[in-house]
Chain A
């Protein structure tokens, strides 16, 4: 697609429920990133994929969070047993490749706003 697409744009769920957030990156971009942005804060890195593999998941806060990218394009961020503190905007970004010299500019999607009641 022309840009990074994220669905749903808004998700309201109850504490304890399971949630999936989807990201469709720019066609041909091999690197995909998930960030989380809490209200009034800058985005925080969660995980990135180079192709199908998670190259760095050091930002995932705990084992309730998991992400996959089975075919090297679309990615799904999965959150189990959601808590109120998980409420945030989850941003996805893609870039042509990881380990690229220079800027390696990320193109971000509009985000998925998650609200846990």
Chain B
């Protein structure tokens, strides 16, 4: 079974609108972390946001927020007020266990295109 599932291969959004990128995960470990990374065409992975499994509140970082629904095992990324520079691949990733540090399991990614 896939540990991280991103069901949207590609998404389009109008500039200045909000967009939600879906991510579901599968783990039996009670302690885990969820990450979103952005990968522009240059290839470098850029960290966006993190949510710990025990965090009570949804994580937010500027225009990025993570809609964490633990019972549904989903960790959707919400980007508000989309900008042209947001066009990129977006990857959801999970760290299983408290001591796995940077050993991440990535999803297949969603390609976001922002239209002017």
B101/A98 in contact, CB under 8 A: yes
Contact A42 B108 (CB under 8 A): yes
Q: Which residues of B contact A97 (CB under 8 A)?
A: 101
- Taking CB atoms, residues of chain A closer than 8 Å to B50 are 102-103, 105
Query: In the complex the two chains form, what is the Cα distance from A106 to B37 in whole Å?
Result: 10
Among A31, A98, A111, point to the contact of B44 (Cβ < 8 A): A111
Partner among A42, A91, A98 whose Cβ is within 8 Å of the Cβ of B93: A42
Interface of A is mostly: loop
- Tell me whether A56 and B103 are in contact (CB under 8 A): yes
Tell me, yes or no, whether A100 is within 8 Å of chain B by CB.
Answer: yes
Shortest CB distance B32–A (Å) = 12
Q: How long is the Cα–Cα vector from A103 to B14 in the complex, in angstroms?
A: 31
- Among B4, B45, B104, B109, contact of A45 (Cβ-Cβ < 8 Å): B104
Taking A99-B99, A102-B52 as contacts, is the C-beta distance between A45 and B105 under 8 angstroms?
Answer: yes
Q: Verify B102–A104 contact, CB threshold 8 A.
A: yes
Interface residues of B in 88-115 (CB under 8 A from A): 91, 93, 95, 98-99, 101-109
Residue among B43, B45, B102, B105 making CB contact with A95, cutoff 8 Å: B102
User: Is the beta-carbon distance between A43 and B47 smaller than 8 angstroms?
Assistant: no
Taking A105-B47, A108-B45 as given, write out 16 further A-B residue pairs in contact, using a Cβ cutoff of 8 Å, ordered by the A residue number. A31-B101, A31-B102, A42-B93, A42-B108, A43-B45, A45-B105, A48-B101, A48-B103, A95-B102, A102-B33, A102-B50, A102-B52, A103-B33, A104-B102, A107-B47, A108-B46
Interface residues of A (CB under 8 A from B): 31, 33, 40-45, 48, 56, 89, 91, 93, 95, 97-111, 113
